[in-house]
Amino acid sequence: MPAPLPKPEHPHRVVIEHVRPKVDDGRHPVKRTPGEPVHVSADIFADGHDLIRADLRVREVDATGAPVGEWAATPMALETNDLWHGRFTASHVGWFEYTVDAWIDRFGSWRRDLQKKAEAGQDVASDLLEGAGLVRAAAARITEGDRTRAPRRGKRAVPAIGPQAEQAWMIAQADLLEEPSDQLTRVSAALDPDLAAAMDRHAARAAVTTADPVLRVMVEPERARFGAWYEMFPRSAGPDPTRGATWDEAAARLPAIAEMGFDVLYLPPIHPIGRTHRKGPNNSLRAGPNDVGSPWAIGGPEGGHDAIEPGLGTLEDFERFVGTARDLGIDIALDLAFQCSPDHPYVKTHPEWFRHRPDGTIKYAENPPKKYQDIYPFDFEGAEFQGLWDELKRVITFWVRRGVTIFRVDNPHTKPFFFWEWALAEVRREHPGVVFLSEAFTRPKVMRHLAKIGFSQSYTYFTWRNAKAELVEYFTELTQTDVREYMRPNLFANTPDILHEYLQKGGRPAFEIRLVLAATLGATYGIYSGFELCENRAVPGTEEYLDSEKYQLRQWDFNRPGNITPLVTRVNRIRRENPALHGDWSLQFHETDNPCIIAYSKRTPDLDNIILTVVNVDPVSTQQGWVRVPAIDWTLDLDGYVVEDLLSGERYHWRNEWNFVRLDPAHHRAAHVLRVATPAGAHARAREEDELARIAQELDRLTT
């Protein structure tokens, strides 16, 4: 037989179920950035017919969960069918926790029943005495420390009063309810909204039900939610094709990257590169004396993960590079690849951090039948794992202290999950503003788990989703299911490892299409250098770039004919100027009558800014058809409204819901990015113009 249930300390009657948002029953936090609301809902009910009150409680905590501030409570509202809702907004980076309290509203229930009886003409003398007792009990709970508001005497506002004055007022109300005077007067006093407000402030909550467990939200910098990434090999950014560039030479490329509108510059590993089993061009097993090797074969006589490849320069040179980027509005993201070349100092100083064969040699990386003799994986489970974990955490903070606040983590799914959960939490305990991108092209559940345990952003399957139906299905999952509470997609259109067949065969239109899709479907997206040049040469039969920068220097002519740099620049400007594109949750797909035309929108909550994107996903042929606009939901005038193509500057006058589009990729018209002129947007722009005019007048007055 099961053990008998113990009697509760208080006879709790309220039940709280299905508190949302919640990730794995509270095991992991939900994620937000400053200013993003957390909409909390819960199923709350009780036996009988008494009224229920519920509060959403929130407080700030540190990375360990220790309270930093006091609980703040805001009332929740009943929506329908026992579903309650509340919201709060975290104003700054850090950790917060939230829960739901609910209790029987005895005074509210009494007040409701009293009103019904009085309206039915029943004798309520006994009820009024019961109410007086409730008011006296509440008045007795007032303490000197209470912060109270004054009762509103009719429509006349009165100054705030202290606890003693409010207590005296409530006792006077209780006396009035008990007086053997006119019942109508006493009922009116009982139903006074000011009395209800005072009773709410001092309600008895001895039998409060609190949702379990307490839930957490991790608030990260805005860059975790919104940004445009550009990936560059700094060693290829110099004027001399016969040698790698220095940091100062690579810095000359920064203004052009900023001009294109990128917020983040992602650098592959910048550390010394091993020579043992160094790879040659196109991943060949033989490297010549002048071959530069793969940056992911980390470590040599010059140092390891906290050192700079000598050809690039010194640590001081790197810090200057970071400072120059920051002055241009660009954050530096550094690749974090926890693996070693056979020449890494760790191999000699800490051989216990690696796995060994029976003959005593260290095991190199393998993905049978492939062998990677130039890479030694760490043994995260060895007897000395604690020292290894501490050292790798030190490596992260080493670069944070040198201005790096974003890390793209290489293959995190090949290292223990518990290591990442520990390491990321430890780093954030000292540096809460650090952002981590998970580069894990692996199984969906593994990708989602990495997001749950602390990664700010995640690579996705976007590269392999090219048809309309698969794009709709995948992005509905990412933005309209519970996945969105913890997994933020970063849509890279290409990477040094991935040149999809769509780009190989689709020519320049394919690059234009994928750029628009990545930049408007996702609040965060990225391209790897060469994308803007429509570079599409691949090793035959693979997704690998021919003459890949992973293994050799490449000197790019960024002005070569056929580049789409102006389009990249325009798209990034559109993203910055339109708040609707700064998040993912408002993404909504719309009907079209052509399977090659995809249409979707993003909007601000007040409909002040609506962006409707229409894309022909066929890079070869002109496609045309009809697009359905939710005109009524967007408060549009069905007799006519204006949409402006932010790519071309053209304006179209549309009517009703269904409107015609024709998209010709051969003439650089593969997509529309349309700003919909809504009444709310027109009013907002008018207010903005009025304010600018007022400022101009004031400046003119001051100067004259």
Which residues lie closer than 8 Å to 124 by C-beta, 6 or more apart?
A: 114, 117, 118, 183, 187
Per-residue three-class SS string for 451-494: HHCCCCEECCCHHHCCCHHHHHHHHHHHHHCHHHHCCCECEECC
User: What amino acid occupies position 124?
Assistant: V
Contact 479, 585 (CB under 8 A): yes
**Per-residue pLDDT at 146:** 59
**Per-residue pLDDT at 203:** 84
pLDDT digits over 656-689, tens only? Answer: 999 999 999 999 999 999 999 988 655 555 555 6
Joined together, the tokens standing for residue 310 give: 């000598």
pLDDT digits over 132-146, tens only? Answer: 999 999 999 997 555
* CA-based nearest residue to 685, from 580, 608, 616: 608
Q: How confident is the model at residue 158 (pLDDT cuts 50, 70, 90)?
A: very low
Contact 101, 54 (CB under 8 A): yes
**Per-residue pLDDT at 691:** 62
SS3 441: coil
**Per-residue pLDDT at 3:** 73
pLDDT digits over 489-503, tens only? Answer: 999 999 999 999 999
User: What amino acid occupies position 554?
Assistant: R
- What's the whole-model pTM score? 0.91
Pairing verdict, β 524-528 and 491-492: parallel
Q: How confident is the model at residue 266 (pLDDT cuts 50, 70, 90)?
A: very high
**Per-residue pLDDT at 8:** 67
Q: How confident is the model at residue 704 (pLDDT cuts 50, 70, 90)?
A: low
pLDDT digits over 629-644, tens only? Answer: 999 999 999 999 999 9
DSSP code per residue over 107-139:
HHHHHHHHHHHHHTT---HHHHHHHHHHHHHHH
Contact 484, 585 (CB under 8 A): yes
Q: How confident is the model at residue 154 (pLDDT cuts 50, 70, 90)?
A: very low
Q: Give yes or no for residue 417 having a pLDDT over 60.
A: yes
Instruction: Please measure the distance between the N-terminal and C-terminal CA atoms of the chain and give it in whole angstroms.
Output: 92
User: Where do runs of H (alpha helix) occur along 274-356?
Assistant: 315-327, 345-349
pLDDT digits over 476-493, tens only? Answer: 999 999 999 999 999 999
Using the 8-state DSSP alphabet, how is residue 358 labeled? T
**Per-residue pLDDT at 153:** 42
**Cα–chain center distance at 605:** 17
pLDDT digits over 282-323, tens only? Answer: 999 999 999 999 999 999 999 999 999 999 999 999 999 999
pLDDT digits over 323-338, tens only? Answer: 999 999 999 999 999 9
Catalytic residues: 410, 439
Q: What percent of the chain has a predicted confidence (pLDDT) above 70?
A: 93
Q: Give yes or no for residue 199 having a pLDDT over 90.
A: yes
> Could you give the C-alpha distances from 661 to 30, 198, 490, 672, 676, in angstroms and in order?
40, 60, 29, 9, 15
Rounded CA separation 138/155 (Å):
24
Rounded CA separation 102/86 (Å):
13
**Cα–chain center distance at 45:** 33
**Mean predicted confidence (pLDDT) in 373-392:** 96
What domains can be seen in the chain, in order of their start residue?
A: 14-218 (2.60.40.10), 228-339+393-581 (3.20.20.80), 588-686 (2.60.40.1180)
pLDDT digits over 24-81, tens only? Answer: 999 999 999 999 999 999 999 999 999 999 999 999 999 888 999 899 999 999 999 9
501-521 vs 565-577: helix crossing angle, rounded to 10 = 20
Rounded CA separation 603/634 (Å):
10
Rounded CA separation 491/621 (Å):
25
Rounded CA separation 378/364 (Å):
10
Rounded CA separation 396/167 (Å):
57
Lowest mean pLDDT among 204-213, 348-357, 637-646: 204-213
Q: Give yes or no for residue 572 having a pLDDT over 50.
A: yes
Residue whose structure tokens are 């650090």: 434
106-119 vs 193-201: helix crossing angle, rounded to 10 = 160
**Per-residue pLDDT at 702:** 55
Contact 324, 251 (CB under 8 A): yes
Radius of gyration of the chain (CA): 32
| Side-chain-facing half-sphere of 228: CA atoms under 13 Å | 26
Residue whose structure tokens are 């506002």: 157
Q: What is the largest CA-CA distance in the chain?
A: 107
**Per-residue pLDDT at 679:** 83
CB neighbour class for 673 (10 Å; exposed up to 12, middle 13-18, buried from 19): buried
**Per-residue pLDDT at 205:** 79
**Mean predicted confidence (pLDDT) in 435-464:** 98
Rounded CA separation 697/213 (Å):
57
